[in-house]
Amino acid sequence: MRSRTFLLDASLDPRAFAAEVVRAGGDPKPLEEHGRVVAMTAVLDDESTARLERAPGVARVLSAPTPWPKIARRGPGARLVEITVGGAQKDRIVVGDDRPVIIAGPCAVESLEQLEACAKAIAGCGGRLLRGGAYKPRTSPYSFAGHGLTALRLLRQVADRHRMGVVTEVLDPRDVEAVALHADVLQIGARTMSDFALLRAVASVDKPVLLKRSPSATLDDWLHAAEHLANAGARQILLWERGVRGFDDAARNLVDIAAVPLLRMRTDLPVLVDPSHGVGVRRAVLPMAAAAIAAGADGVMVECHPDPGVSRSDGPQALLLSSLPRLFAQVEAIAQAVRPGLDAAAE
């Protein structure tokens, strides 16, 4: 299986050709120029490619060998992910266009009051995605590991009140069903990036998946993990840089900003950055969020807390709620400066 790009003549009916590609087992992605479909990309085997290549109106076929054919970069315009959020209301949020998304919330859901205060502040800034941990992976087995199902219910209830979507981590394949029932986006954490049984379980529910990078994963390891998700049926995958292990403990991790443009060259998957776990120091979170957006990230995730001093996890990196307006304004302003034309310029 490889990613193939069929260059099409004006004489060819793109809809009929797309139907042929689907019959051959591919998921065709049209590329348009001035309103006309000029090419179509799909992952196909050699036999189907040879047959389609002979179709009248196909000018040429380009084939790029790639170890991750299902998530490989196909070209401009192919990298949008739509997230459907909300209980009854079903709003859509697009990730990958010129407006970066901001995902925010507490590290762990601790109480209704704590979550409500965060959601109110985030929604007040225009934030649409509320993130909070219900099942927390912790280094020590004696640390607070989240309120589980109770936290999932609180997330749904509070997010619905503010017309937001829920993003939360799933750690165990046995919890996938319950998490998918309450959340709009399922997070795979850094520690479980290569837990292939978990990836398969998450891919089996039709929800967007945020795949964090393990602190020791190369881009190649990370993209292979994303390909596992895609191969198991996940249709909406987002990558999430959260810092790799550095040599200096001044920062919790080393945020790999270079990963953002390097991933954009390799894959169509949107790329987000988590400066909170990346740097681990409250005062450095806004500057690193700015750097991520300036580098072309499709969004950022930050942790916040109404009273970080009493947070049960990750207090030192939690933003004060009063910092959120600045974060939102800064992301918007930087995106306006760098996003338009970014894809074309990168070609």
Task: Catalog residues that contact ligand PEP under the rule CB under 6 A.
Answer: 107, 133, 137, 189-191, 212, 242, 277
Q: What are phi and psi of 55, to 5 degrees?
A: -65, 140
- 3-state secondary structure (DSSP) of residue 59: strand
Query: Which one of ligand PEP, Mn ion, none interacts with residue 190, CB within 5 to 8 A by kind?
Result: ligand PEP
User: Least Å distance between CB 180 and ligand PEP?
Assistant: 18
Query: Which one of Mn ion, ligand PEP, none interacts with residue 137, CB within 5 to 8 A by kind?
Result: ligand PEP
User: Least Å distance between CB 176 and ligand PEP?
Assistant: 17
Query: In the Cβ-directed half-sphere of 134, how many Cα atoms lie within 13 Å?
Result: 29
Q: Are 164 and 130 in contact (CB under 8 A)?
A: yes
**43 vs 107, which CB is nearer to Mn ion?**
107
Query: Which one of Mn ion, ligand PEP, none interacts with residue 242, CB within 5 to 8 A by kind?
Result: ligand PEP
Q: What are phi and psi of 273, to 5 degrees?
A: -130, 140
Residue 183 tokens, joined: 């959340």
Task: Provide CB contacts within 8 A for 235, sequence distance 6+.
Answer: 206
- Give which of 222, 205, 221, 186 is closest to 103, Cα–Cα: 186
**175 vs 314, which CB is nearer to Mn ion?**
314
Q: How far is CA 106 from the centre of its chain?
A: 18
User: Least Å distance between CB 332 and Mn ion?
Assistant: 25
**20 vs 256, which CB is nearer to ligand PEP?**
256
**26 vs 270, which CB is nearer to ligand PEP?**
270
**14 vs 189, which CB is nearer to ligand PEP?**
189
Q: Which residue has 């309450």 as its token pair?
A: 182
**300 vs 334, which CB is nearer to Mn ion?**
300
Query: Which one of ligand PEP, Mn ion, none interacts with residue 296, CB within 5 to 8 A by kind?
Result: none
Q: How far is CA 161 from the centre of its chain?
A: 24
User: Least Å distance between CB 277 and ligand PEP?
Assistant: 4
User: Least Å distance between CB 190 and ligand PEP?
Assistant: 4
Query: Which one of Mn ion, ligand PEP, none interacts with residue 129, CB within 5 to 8 A by kind?
Result: none
**3 vs 168, which CB is nearer to ligand PEP?**
168
* Angle made by CA atoms 304, 310, 316, in degrees to the nearest 5: 55
Residues 308, 312, 318, 324: what is their CA dihedral angle, to the nearest 10 degrees? Answer: -70
**147 vs 212, which CB is nearer to ligand PEP?**
212
* Residues 205, 344: Cα–Cα separation, whole Å: 34
* Chain positions contacting Mn ion, by CB under 5 A: 107, 314
Query: Which one of ligand PEP, Mn ion, none interacts with residue 308, CB within 5 to 8 A by kind?
Result: none
User: Least Å distance between CB 188 and ligand PEP?
Assistant: 8
- Give which of 246, 253, 135, 245 is closest to 189, Cα–Cα: 135
- 3-state secondary structure (DSSP) of residue 272: strand
**66 vs 317, which CB is nearer to ligand PEP?**
317
Q: What are phi and psi of 346, to 5 degrees?
A: -80, -10
Residue nearest to Mn ion (CB): 107
User: Least Å distance between CB 332 and ligand PEP?
Assistant: 23
Query: Which one of Mn ion, ligand PEP, none interacts with residue 156, CB within 5 to 8 A by kind?
Result: none
Residue nearest to ligand PEP (CB): 189
Residue 191 tokens, joined: 């520690």
User: Least Å distance between CB 136 and Mn ion?
Assistant: 8
Query: Which one of ligand PEP, Mn ion, none interacts with residue 305, CB within 5 to 8 A by kind?
Result: none
Q: Are 275 and 292 in contact (CB under 8 A)?
A: yes
User: Least Å distance between CB 189 and ligand PEP?
Assistant: 3
Write the DSSP symbol of residue 49. H
Total length of the chain? 347
* Residues 166, 152: Cα–Cα separation, whole Å: 9
